[in-house]
Amino acid sequence: MVWAVLAYAETASSTEPAYRLAVVNLGQLLNEAPQSLTETKRLEALFSKRESELAQEKLQLDNSLQALQVERETTPATEFLQRERELRTKQRDYLRKLEDFREEVSSARNDSLQKVQDLIDRAVEEVRARDNIDIVFRESHYVAASQRVNMTQEVLTYLQQQFEAGQVKDTSSNSAASPTPTKPAKEEE
């Protein structure tokens, strides 16, 4: 009886593997997916003007502070105190604007990251289903894997195809440059 079970297991395992496993490097996908690169460019375009305006305001505040310090000895005390108060008020306003800007950028980045992560998760699932893979591990949940089971490049190719298909459908958006994905270094089991 035991021999029959072993013979069946040997026959079943010789025709196809019991499970198909794969690993994926999500960090690489987040860095190289065209959707991610497009979102990064969109955020830069969205916030670059305000960032430069804040930098200019900071420069003006610093210059005003230096000028006030230089004029300290020659300016009457009451006028100096009045200008110093005005400058402190401007500095507080600047710091509030800067904090608001940072919060807005952080929120937009988090939303953008979530959007891209959702796209990547769907792409991993699509490639997993298409290739009949039973289990997919992410890069942080295994010690070593051979390149044979690394499906990162397949997912990147899938994301590139989806991106290009979306670009063809949406001719009103700017076409992002296609990244040249690099192959991860091979790891041997």
Non-local CB neighbours of 179 within 8 Å, separated by 6+ positions? 32, 33, 34, 37
Residue that wins the pLDDT comparison between 11 and 133 = 133
Instruction: Tell whether pTM > 0.95.
Output: no
User: Which tokens is 94 given?
Assistant: 């600047």
**Structure confidence at residue 6 as a pLDDT band (50, 70, 90):** very low
Q: Tell me: the pLDDT tens digits for 94-122?
A: 999 999 999 999 999 999 999 999 999 99
Residue 188 lies in a domain: no
Residue 7 lies in a domain: no
Specify the pLDDT at position 181: 37
Q: Output the CA–CA distances (angstroms, integers) from residue 46 to 26, 49, 116, 129, 181, in the order listed.
A: 26, 7, 17, 37, 26
Task: Tell me what the mean pLDDT of segment 48-61 comes to.
Answer: 96
As for how many domains the chain has, the answer is 1
Residue 9 lies in a domain: no
Task: Name the residue among 117, 107, 98 with its Cα closest to residue 159.
Answer: 117
Residue 4 lies in a domain: no
Q: Tell me: the pLDDT tens digits for 145-185?
A: 778 888 889 999 999 999 998 876 654 444 444 333 333 33
Residue 175 lies in a domain: no
Lookup result for tokens 């997993």:
128
Give residue 39's domain range: 16-169
Residue 104 lies in a domain: yes
Q: Tell me: the pLDDT tens digits for 28-43?
A: 999 999 999 999 999 9
**Structure confidence at residue 15 as a pLDDT band (50, 70, 90):** low
Residue 69 lies in a domain: yes
* Domain CATH for 145: 3.30.910.20
Specify the pLDDT at position 161: 92
Specify the pLDDT at position 183: 37
CA distance 20 to 43: 39
Task: Tell me what the mean pLDDT of segment 109-136 comes to.
Answer: 94
Specify the pLDDT at position 93: 97
Q: Tell me: the pLDDT tens digits for 71-92?
A: 888 889 899 899 999 999 999 9
135 strand-pairing partners: 21
Residue 150 lies in a domain: yes
